[in-house]
Amino acid sequence: MQFIDLKAQYQALKTEIDENIHAVLDVGQYIGGAPVKELEEKLAAFVGRKHCISCANGTDALQIAFMVYGIGAGDAVFCSDITFISSTEPSKMFGAASVFCDIQPDTYNMSPESLEKQIQAVLAEGKLKPKAVIAVDILGNPCDYDAIIPICEKYGLILIEDAAQSFGASYKGKRCCSFGQIATTSFFPAKPLGCYGDGGAIFVDDDELAHVIRSICVHGKGPKGKYDNIRVGVNSRLDTIQAAILLPKFKALEDYEIANRQSVAKRYNEAFAADFTTPFVQDDCISIYAQYALLAKDTETRDRVVAHLTEKKIPNMIYYPTPQHALPVFENEPTYGESFTNANDYCARTLSLPMHPYMDPADQELVIKTVLEAL
C-alpha cells in the first residue's frame, strides 16, 4: 500500500499524460510555451484570480512574494506555529523576524486570537514593524479567512496565503489560492495537484504586481527582454513538460478527485470518530485533505498506533513532529510569551494515514482495522 498512490493516478490518466509529454517532445520547446500558458489560464480561472504565474516550486513562490513586497530586516512576519519550514524560511532568509502564532484546537490552522495578540505584542515592544501574515491552509483545510482578513486590514498587514497544501479546497464558496493580496501553491508530486518533479505557482489580482512577479521569475527582466535586467530576480519557472503533465491532472482533480477525497475522508471519519479526534472542517468549507490526520487521546496511544501500523507495513507519517517555534533554526526568534499550548498538543498527538483519491476501499478497511487493533 502507498501513502499517496501516484502510480494509481498515472494509470488512470496515462493516455493523456503520455500524449501531452510526447507533444512537448515533438515541439521541442521546454521552457514556457503553450502548455504553461494554458495551465496558468485554467488555474487562475479555477481559483478565481486574475493572474497565475507558474514558477519552479512552492518555496520559490513564497520567497518571490517576499521579494515583491520588499519584506526584510526590521519587519515582523506572522505565521502559524504548525507548518512546513517553507512557510517560515523566507522571513529568516530576508532578515525579517518570524513571529509564530498558536493554532486553533479544531482546524489546526493559525488562531486569529493568537495572531492579534502577537501583533499587539510587537507593537507594544516597538522594535519591529508588523508587515505580513502567512496564512497556511494546513493539511489542505482552509484558514478562517473571515477572522484573519479583518485583522490584516485593521493593522495594515499584507496577507500571503500559503496554499501549498490546499489547491482544490475552498472556504465559504471561494477557492484556496484566492485569499490575500498574493497566494502561493506547490505542485510537489505528493500535493493535491502535483507534477512529476518540482513546480509551483503564484496567484494575484493586481496587474502591476503580476508584471513584477513575471520579471522577478526571469532574473528581473525588463521591457526589452531577459538581458534588460531592471531588478534583482531569480530563475524560477515551471518546466513545459510539468505543465503538460499538470493539465490532465488538473482536469481529474476538478472532475472527480476533490469528490473522491471527500469520500475517503468520510469513511475514515466514521470509523475513527469514537476513539480519535477526526479532522474538523468549518461550515461551507471543503478540505482537500492533502493529509488525513487524526489526534490520538495522548502521545502514548499515538506512538502505539504508529508502531503497530509500521509493523504491519502500513505507511503512516507525522505532520509535523515539531512546532516551528521549537526548531533549532528559530531558537532566537521572539515569542512574546506565547505558550503555543494548542500547537504543542497537536504535535504530541497527531498521526497521518494513507490518503489519496484512488484509494481502494479494501486497503482503507485494512488501515482502519489495523489502527483500531492497536488500541
Closer residue to ligand PLP, CB minimum distance, 64 or 295: 64
Q: How far is the CB of 306 from ligand PLP (least distance, A)?
A: 21
| Separation of alpha carbons 36 and 32, rounded Å | 6
Closer residue to ligand PLP, CB minimum distance, 132 or 271: 132
Q: How far is the CB of 185 from ligand PLP (least distance, A)?
A: 8
Closest C-alpha among 147, 122, 91 to residue 324? 91
Interface residues toward ligand PLP, by CB under 6 A: 57-59, 83-84, 86-87, 136, 162, 164-165, 186, 188, 198, 200
* Amino acid at position 46, single letter: F
CB 142 within 8 A of CB 170: yes
Cβ neighbours of residue 143 under 8 Å, at least 6 residues apart? 107, 109, 110, 135, 136, 137, 161, 171, 179
Coil vs helix vs strand at 154: helix
Q: How far is the CB of 62 from ligand PLP (least distance, A)?
A: 6
- Compute how many other C-beta atoms are within 10 angstroms of the C-beta atom of residue 174: 15
Closer residue to ligand PLP, CB minimum distance, 59 or 242: 59
* Closest residue to bound ligand PLP by CB: 58
Q: How far is the CB of 176 from ligand PLP (least distance, A)?
A: 12
> How are beta strands 182-186 and 200-204 bridged, if at all?
antiparallel
Q: How far is the CB of 154 from ligand PLP (least distance, A)?
A: 25
Closer residue to ligand PLP, CB minimum distance, 58 or 357: 58
Q: How far is the CB of 56 from ligand PLP (least distance, A)?
A: 8
Closer residue to ligand PLP, CB minimum distance, 76 or 176: 176
Query: 90 to each of 95, 132, 210, 252, 288, how far by Cα in Å?
Result: 8, 12, 20, 32, 25
255 burial level (CB within 10 Å; 0-12, 13-18, 19+): exposed
Closer residue to ligand PLP, CB minimum distance, 99 or 305: 99
Q: How far is the CB of 200 from ligand PLP (least distance, A)?
A: 5
Q: How far is the CB of 106 from ligand PLP (least distance, A)?
A: 19
Closer residue to ligand PLP, CB minimum distance, 24 or 62: 62
Q: In the chain, which ranges are E strands? A: 51-55, 75-80, 97-101, 129-136, 158-162, 170-171, 174-175, 182-186, 200-204, 221-222, 225-229, 285-286, 292-295, 350-353
Closer residue to ligand PLP, CB minimum distance, 57 or 287: 57
Coil vs helix vs strand at 253: helix
List strands edge to edge, sheet with 129-136. 51-55, 200-204, 182-186, 158-162, 129-136, 75-80, 97-101
